[in-house]
Amino acid sequence: MKSPLHGFSVSLGILCFALAGTAHAQSDAARVAALKTRLAVLAKETTQVEDITKIQRIGRSFGYYTDKGFFGEAADLFADDATFQWGNDGIYKGKAHIKELLTRQGGGSMKEVAGLPFGRLNLRMQLQPVVTVADDGNTAHARWREWGLLGQYQKEISWGDAIMEDDYVKDNGVWKISARRYYQNFVSPYGDGGWARLKPVNNGQVSKVGQEFPADVKAEPYPMFPVSYIPPYHYAKGKPTAIMSDAPVNPPKRADDKIGKLETLADTKALALGRARSVRAIENLQAMYGYYVDKGQWQQASQLFSKDGSYEFGQSGVYLTPAHVEKALRLMGPKDLEAGQLNNFVMVQPIIDIAADNRTAKARWRSDVLLSRAGKGRWGGGVYENEYVNDNGTWKFSKLHYYVTFWGDYDEGWQAKPFPMDPPSKESPPDQPPTLVYESFPTLQVVPYHYANPVTKEPHKGE
């Protein structure tokens, strides 16, 4: 985006601080006018953060509705003239067609108000949003991941994997989805090696539902897994505003008069809002990182680190600076991955704590990991304890540390066939040894919590 609202607002905020700095030299009228300008900016920026949470709510509601066959409710999340591209089946237009598409894909009935028949499983988890609200506050974009547990009792069982890129529109004050591009990556059987042994399909192959209920318009075909295809990012060009927040500022000393008290109150509110915005920026940053790692985009992923940022994965040691982080990431596979390689690191369960001054942050996350290498599938699970820095208004990783809980064979499962962690690489050795030596499953490690108990406020000292 050429002139992001956010940049404008931040500059305006700084300007206000600058004006306030010369408060003594100003007339009271000018100070009051400056306060009013700040108030307007605060109100506008609060709306922008609220908009992010509202869009997250729509995406998550979609999952809860489709899980249980509330397909009419799911279709109601779309604008009247919305479009829905379902994989290579094509583009469905309007709410009525979207409802029928979801009903057929989910195994429901157009004759009943909601529900699913006995034996139908349609759990479609909606995860890892990156939400970008446009300058004008009237349109927005989001990237989501869908992870599906699908099946028919005693007949069929499969995994679903898809990336979605959505457009949203604010219509009479209400956000709606105006376009969804559902890039299905695979629907794989549970047995027979799962996704790792999927055979290539022809580009543009239409699903059974797509044949019975054809789309309104053809879509540009794209390749599915085992080809490693990267669905286009809405934030690919220019500065990604989704990871931006207010640049850190030193709260100015205000005059000890009535107006000065209000200026201090405005400073307090601005800081609180900056911190609330930072929570969403860090959610977006972690999600963006995950999407790059998914697809072997090592350079893009490493550019999300600060200049002295560090990266530590399992027992592989610590890499310092983005250039070395990229080197470490490359140990997972070639750039953009090879056909047959799956590298899904699902980013979930955030506990984000922004420092009181909005300059740094810490967060705990976890990843489920779905891998495939040379026709063999693998599960993984682990916990991140990360640190972030607000670099003049853009959030970056200052430390990423992934603690491996388990690695497990797909065919036999993590219980029957767990794998140990990799030792430090000889080919691209780390800058420092592991900060904590531990073993993964079947041994279990309590990963240190960066936070005190959120209710009792007591630090965790073991049980």
Partner 1 sequence: MMHSDSLFTALRRSLLLGTAVLTLGATTVHAQSDTDLQAIEKDLNDVGTRITRLQDLTDVEIVQDAYGYYVDKAQWRSLAGLFAEDATLEIGGKGVFTGKARVFEYMQTGLGPIGPRKGGLIDHQQFQCLPTIHDDGVTAEVRCIAFVMSSGGWGHNYYEDDFVKEDGVWKFKKLHGPFNMYSSYKEGWIDHVIVNTFPEKFKPWPDLPPTTIYLTYPSYYAEPFHYPNPVTGKAAPTPSPRAGGEAFGR
- Report the site for partner 1 in 333-372 (rule: CB under 8 A): 348-352, 364, 366, 368
Please count the CA atoms within 13 angstroms of the CA of 215 that sit on its side-chain side: 21
Applying CB under 8 A, the site for partner 1 has a residue count of 118
- Minimum CB–partner distance for residue 4 and partner 1 (Å): 15
Q: Quickly tell me which residue has 């050429």 as its tokens.
A: 2
Tokens of 412: 């036999």
Those residues whose C-beta lies under 8 Å from the C-beta of residue 354, and which sit 6 or more positions away, are: 275, 278, 279, 282, 361
**Binders of partner 1 in range 195-214 (CB under 8 A):** 212
- Minimum CB–partner distance for residue 339 and partner 1 (Å): 26
Comparing CA positions, the residue from 454, 274, 262, 424 lying closest to residue 350 is 454
Site string for partner 1, 5-34 (x = CB under 8 A): -----------------------xx--xx-
Please pick, from the candidates 26, 37, 299, 303, the single residue that binds partner 1 as defined by CB under 8 A.
37
- Minimum CB–partner distance for residue 233 and partner 1 (Å): 22
Please pick, from the candidates 2, 24, 118, 250, the single residue that binds partner 1 as defined by CB under 8 A.
118
Cα–Cα distance, 274 to 106 (Å, whole number): 41
37 or 321, CB closer to partner 1? Answer: 37
Q: Candidates 286-294, 301-309, 334-342, 438-446: pick the segment binding partner 1 (CB under 8 A).
A: 438-446
Contact by Cβ (8 Å): 101, 214: no
- Minimum CB–partner distance for residue 130 and partner 1 (Å): 15
State yes or no: residue 405 binds partner 1 (CB under 8 A): yes
State yes or no: residue 156 binds partner 1 (CB under 8 A): yes
**Binders of partner 1 in range 52-81 (CB under 8 A):** 53-54, 56-58, 60-61, 63-65, 67-70, 72-73, 76-77
112 or 336, CB closer to partner 1? Answer: 112
Q: Burial code of 124-158, b = ≥16 C-beta within 10 A, e = fewer? A: bbbbbbbbbbbbeeeebbbbbbbbbebbeeeeeeb
Burial of residue 382 (number of CB atoms within 10 Å: 0-12, 13-18, 19+): buried
State yes or no: residue 438 binds partner 1 (CB under 8 A): no
- Which DSSP letter does residue 196 get? G
260 or 424, CB closer to partner 1? Answer: 260
**Binders of partner 1 in range 76-115 (CB under 8 A):** 76-77, 103-104, 107-115
Peptide bond just before 226 cis, omega within 30 deg: yes
- Minimum CB–partner distance for residue 38 and partner 1 (Å): 9
Contact by Cβ (8 Å): 230, 301: no
- Minimum CB–partner distance for residue 342 and partner 1 (Å): 17
- Minimum CB–partner distance for residue 446 and partner 1 (Å): 5
Which SS3 state, helix, strand or coil, does residue 66 take?
Answer: helix
State yes or no: residue 395 binds partner 1 (CB under 8 A): no
Please pick, from the candidates 193, 231, 252, 381, the single residue that binds partner 1 as defined by CB under 8 A.
381
Please pick, from the candidates 175, 292, 298, 395, the single residue that binds partner 1 as defined by CB under 8 A.
175
Cα–Cα distance, 89 to 163 (Å, whole number): 15
426 or 457, CB closer to partner 1? Answer: 457
375 or 449, CB closer to partner 1? Answer: 449
- Minimum CB–partner distance for residue 101 and partner 1 (Å): 12
State yes or no: residue 378 binds partner 1 (CB under 8 A): no
Peptide bond just before 442 cis, omega within 30 deg: yes
What are phi and psi for residue 332, nearest 5 degrees?
A: -80, -20
Contact by Cβ (8 Å): 293, 402: no
**Binders of partner 1 in range 250-279 (CB under 8 A):** 258-259, 262, 265-266, 268-269, 272-273, 275-276, 279
Comparing CA positions, the residue from 305, 277, 281 lying closest to residue 292 is 305
311 or 384, CB closer to partner 1? Answer: 384
- Minimum CB–partner distance for residue 168 and partner 1 (Å): 11
Cα–Cα distance, 371 to 196 (Å, whole number): 8
∠ CA 277-279-282 to the nearest 5 degrees? Answer: 110
Comparing CA positions, the residue from 42, 49, 25, 30 lying closest to residue 266 is 42
State yes or no: residue 217 binds partner 1 (CB under 8 A): no
338 or 353, CB closer to partner 1? Answer: 353
